[in-house]
Amino acid sequence: MTFSIAGRCARTGMLGAIVTTSSIAVGSRCAFAAAGVGAALTQHTTDPRLGPLMLDQLRRGHTVEEAVGAAVGSTPRSDWRQLAIIDRNGRTACFRGASAKPERAEVHGRDCIALANIVRSEAVPAAMVKAFEADPQAHLALRLIDALAAGNAAGGEFKPLMSAGLMIAWREAFPYVDLRVDSDADPIGTLRRLWSEYEPVADMFVARAVHPDSVVGR
């Protein structure tokens, strides 16, 4: 009952993840990103501890495969988990436990990896990857939102979607983008609208933190 994609912008070095589902607060539980490190997804009977654990493994110099392996080894019921990670160089890895319910799939793409479980079609992740790869020059946030919309158009969930979350990390220790939608009849559409409102001020909010003198009065 969740589909998601993690991706990298080769042009800017941004790393991010986006997710949607038919339960509340998916953005707080499933998508994680760290600047210069990677982005991670943990879903299907979600354990939110596993996303940060995988990213920490990358920080320590481990490969994406080793990072996923460490997460699998750390949880006593790994058969319930569906995991994915992308590193700063675009390398990807994933895991799906035997208890993950169909339809389910994972698809690796160029600078991205997409996951889905309990969806109408196993083609959902492939549709997300195709949409993400369509315009590498577009902003990473827009590419991720377009990918999520394509996954929904390819079948999406059996139940109405109600929450979505977008996380992007870039240069700083805090997120460049952290937008969440909950209890909404069109969470993907609302997330797109929120990004259109946030994009013009995103750099200013970073500057306020890092170079406050440059934005006095703004």
- Which pLDDT does position 213 carry in this prediction? 86
The amino acid present at 8, given as its one-letter code, is R
By CB neighbour count within 10 A (0-12 exposed, 13-18 middle, 19+ buried), where does 169 fall? buried
- Which pLDDT does position 216 carry in this prediction? 65
Contacts of 90 (CB under 8 A, 6+ apart): 8, 10, 110, 111
Which residues, given as ranges, of the chain have pLDDT below 70? 216-218
Which is nearest to 17 in space by CA: 3, 37, 35, 31?
A: 31
SS3 for 85?
strand
Residue 218 to residue 215: CA distance in whole angstroms? 5
Return phi, psi of residue 40, to 5°: -135, 150
- Which pLDDT does position 218 carry in this prediction? 57
Residue 167 to residue 34: CA distance in whole angstroms? 9
pLDDT tens-place string over residues 174-209: 999 999 999 999 999 999 999 999 999 999 999 999
- Which pLDDT does position 69 carry in this prediction? 98
Residue 2 to residue 165: CA distance in whole angstroms? 12
- Which pLDDT does position 217 carry in this prediction? 59
Q: Is the pTM of the predicted complex or chain greater than 0.95?
A: yes
